[in-house]
Amino acid sequence: MSKIFNVRLPNATTAQYSPEQFNQLVRSVEQIVLQLNTTYGSNLDADAASASSWFKAGGAAGGFSGAVPGFQYSSGILMPHAMLMSDADQNNAGITSENLVTYNLPVITNGIIVENNSQIKFERPGNYFVSVSVQVTNRGNTAAEFELWAKNTGVNYPLSATRFDIPARKTATIWSHLVASVSGIFTVSNPGTEYLEMAWWSGSTDVYLEHYGTNTSPDRPSISSVILTAHFVSSGR
């Protein structure tokens, strides 16, 4: 908090005029003016500087762990975030195989990247909210099981799997469809080594992740086989 420091002002004279007391008053006023002109800072300026420091870097005074960039005077706070998609079909490798979800369309990325098509890496430590949905198609004439789960640096994330039942196809030319989705918090302690992957399995090779192109009557946008979004929520302290 900004303060002005000054010696005690002289008491008013009870008798006749005193030049000494008047001179003392003048010197005190001069000290106040000097502080205002040289060292005094307003509370608003101090608060703004403190907030900027907190958002720009962590440390003993607080702030985001790992110097997460964020304070933007012109456009608000900008946190690490990403939106990843795929416009390719993703086939089932086999009924005893694990399939990794892949991404070939990084629509939006800031501090989050994709490596080796499936590994999602975070440039800063912290907690990230992740949501993923996949367009599942069954070409078979019997119902099939489908499971979707998360992997932390190649290791299955406990209790992250979700099971879905995919209906049999409607006709020989019209497949059945289902959107499977999961979400959760992914914690990054060491950005240099940790990464997130999404995996899936199905008991039928007729099940796969499918994309669709644009359509008309009415005009409709293409359908992605997978959409994943992630954004920073806390430093994890």
Contact (Cβ atoms closer than 8 angstroms) between residue 194 and residue 152:
yes
Q: Is residue 31 part of a domain?
A: no
d(CA 166, CA 210): 14
Please state the domain count of the chain. Answer: 2
Structural domain for 66, as ranges: 43-72
pLDDT in tens, 157-206: 999 999 999 999 999 999 999 999 999 999 999 999 999 999 999 999 99
User: How would residue 64 be classed by pLDDT, with cut points 50, 70 and 90?
Assistant: very low
DSSP 44-90: HHHHHHHHHHHHH--STT---TT----EETTTEE---EEEEEE-S-B
Do residue 181 and residue 216 come from a single domain?
yes
pLDDT in tens, 218-237: 999 999 999 999 999 988 65
3-class secondary-structure state, position 11: coil
Residue whose structure tokens are 């900027």? 52
What mean pLDDT value characterizes the chain? Answer: 84
Q: How many CB atoms lie within 10 A of CB 95?
A: 13
Q: Is residue 201 part of a domain?
A: yes
Query: Is residue 33's pLDDT more than 80?
Result: no
Peptide bond into 218 cis (omega under 30): yes
Q: Is residue 110 part of a domain?
A: yes
Query: Is residue 84's pLDDT more than 90?
Result: yes
